[in-house]
Every structure is written in C-alpha cells, then in structure tokens.
Amino acid sequence: MDEKELMEILVRDNPEFNRVYGEHQMCKKALEDLNSKSFLTETEKIEEKELKKKKLTLKDSMYRMMLEYRKTH
C-alpha cells in the first residue's frame, strides 16, 4: 500500500487523523493564498512563518499516525 492509499484509509477511518489532515490542508491553502501576493506586510510575514511551523507539526503528526497504522496492520 502506498502513502496516498494509506492516507485515504486513515482520513476515512480515523477521526483524529481526519482532523489533523483537515487542519494541514487549511494551513496549506492559507500559505498558498499568502504566496500568491506580490508583497507581504510584516503581519503577513509572521503569519506565514507560524503557518509553516503549524503545517510541519501537523505533517509530523500525520506521519506518526501512519507509521503506527503500518505497525499494527
């Protein structure tokens, strides 16, 4: 099973993974919106930095859950 298939299973079957995945997608979208701007204010630069940190933390959480799933299935 590849990573994409595993993510689909966990999004469907694991409420915690689904919540973390949803938050990760929201951060990704917010970063895309900020990156589409030609100029960022200082506040937006801080927001971008915080979004990147949060997105990475969420991704780490997703990968831990995926590893745990692989160990038990």
Summarised one tens digit per residue, pLDDT across range 51-73 is 999 999 999 999 999 999 999 98
Residue 13, token pair as written in the block: 């079957």
Tell me if 13 sits within 8 A of 23, measured CB to CB.
no
Q: Which residues contact 44 (CB under 8 A, 6 or more apart)?
A: 34, 37
pTM: 0.91
Tell me the average pLDDT across 22-45: 97
Q: How do the domains of the chain map onto residue ranges?
A: 3-72
